[in-house]
Amino acid sequence: MPLHLKRLLMLGVLIVLLFLLLKHLLTPVSFGQFGHYRGKAIDEIAAHQVKFVGNKACVSCHDTIVTMKNEGYHSDLSCEGCHGAAYLHVDHPKLEKLFKPDSREFCGKCHSINKARPEKAVTQQNIKDHHPEDKCIKCHNPHQP
Ligand code: HEC
Ligand code: HEC
Ligand code: HEC
Ligand code: HEC
């Protein structure tokens, strides 16, 4: 074989060896344990704090509001969908205050006219013309609108 081809071949072999070495050094130990991902990642994700505790966690202290909401038009909505994640509040209600979304814009996130949203799913209202002088919650109870 001519010398210049031998050199090229050696260079090729060297690159492949270097690739295999780096792959060996840089691949995390638990990679491939269960599939094409890091096996340890499962434990790391499972260790995350659960931040949304669910409507049932509110019953012990706010049973009137829970019952009221479940009987009205907002029965399908989650408390935390409006008030935000409550994992800190349920343990320290006096210290960890929740958000009270009382602005017109907030209700408009679901009720404003939006061609992309199916009309049958949520009643759409022209927020600019519908009693623009007051907050929505002056007339509609957010827990039983
Ligand atoms: C559609 C959004 C929405 C949902 C869903 C919702 N809330 Fe509210 N909530 C509000 C708003 C807005 C206020 C502020 C009312 C005010 O200032 O008069 C409020 C106020 C409150 C208050 C403060 C006391 C009061 O009456 O002002 C509590 C407690 C509360 N909500 C608990 C809950 C619980 C428990 C649920 C689930 C069963 C829930 N909320 C579901 C929007 C919502
Ligand atoms: C251990 C009892 C307890 C539980 C459980 C609890 N709350 Fe409360 N919550 C309170 C108390 C007490 C207040 C009044 C705090 C104050 O006025 O300082 C309050 C106030 C609120 C307020 C008014 C804003 C604020 O933070 O003061 C909202 C909204 C609220 N709670 C929503 C919820 C939701 C939603 C849940 C369920 C995910 C929930 N709470 C679970 C006791 C509780
Ligand atoms: C996360 C989305 C969402 C938010 C935020 C929300 N709503 Fe609703 N609302 C709904 C759904 C879903 C219904 C039940 C379907 C329907 O009737 O439109 C509903 C129903 C209603 C109805 C009854 C409509 C009817 O059919 O007669 C009123 C009134 C209403 N909401 C007012 C409010 C007000 C006021 C706020 C703000 C405090 C608010 N909503 C925030 C989703 C939302
Ligand atoms: C001054 C009182 C008042 C205010 C403020 C108000 N509404 Fe209403 N709303 C009403 C009345 C009364 C009705 C029923 C008659 C009608 O359709 O106008 C109604 C009806 C609705 C309906 C049902 C419409 C239907 O076709 O069934 C929705 C949804 C609604 N309002 C959402 C809102 C939202 C969102 C806000 C704030 C951006 C708001 N409202 C502010 C008084 C009010």
User: pLDDT tens for residues 44-87?
Assistant: 999 999 999 999 999 999 999 999 999 999 999 999 999 999 99
Could you give the CA distance from residue 141 to residue 136 in angstroms, rounded to a whole number? 8
User: pLDDT tens for residues 107-137?
Assistant: 999 999 998 988 888 999 999 999 999 999 9
Ligand having the closest approach to the CA of 121: 3
Q: Of all protein residues, whose CA lies closest to atom 34 belonging to ligand 4?
A: 136
Could you give the CA distance from residue 76 to residue 74 in angstroms, rounded to a whole number? 6
Could you give the CA distance from residue 85 to residue 81 in angstroms, rounded to a whole number? 8
Nearest atom in ligand 1 to the alpha carbon of residue 70 is 38
Could you give the CA distance from residue 13 to residue 51 in angstroms, rounded to a whole number? 52
CA 97 to chain centre: 20
- The answer, yes or no, to whether any atom of ligand 1 lies below 6 A from the CB of 127, is no
Please tell me the distance between residue 130's alpha carbon and the centre of ligand 4 in angstroms. Answer: 6
Which amino acid is residue 113, in one-letter code? Answer: I
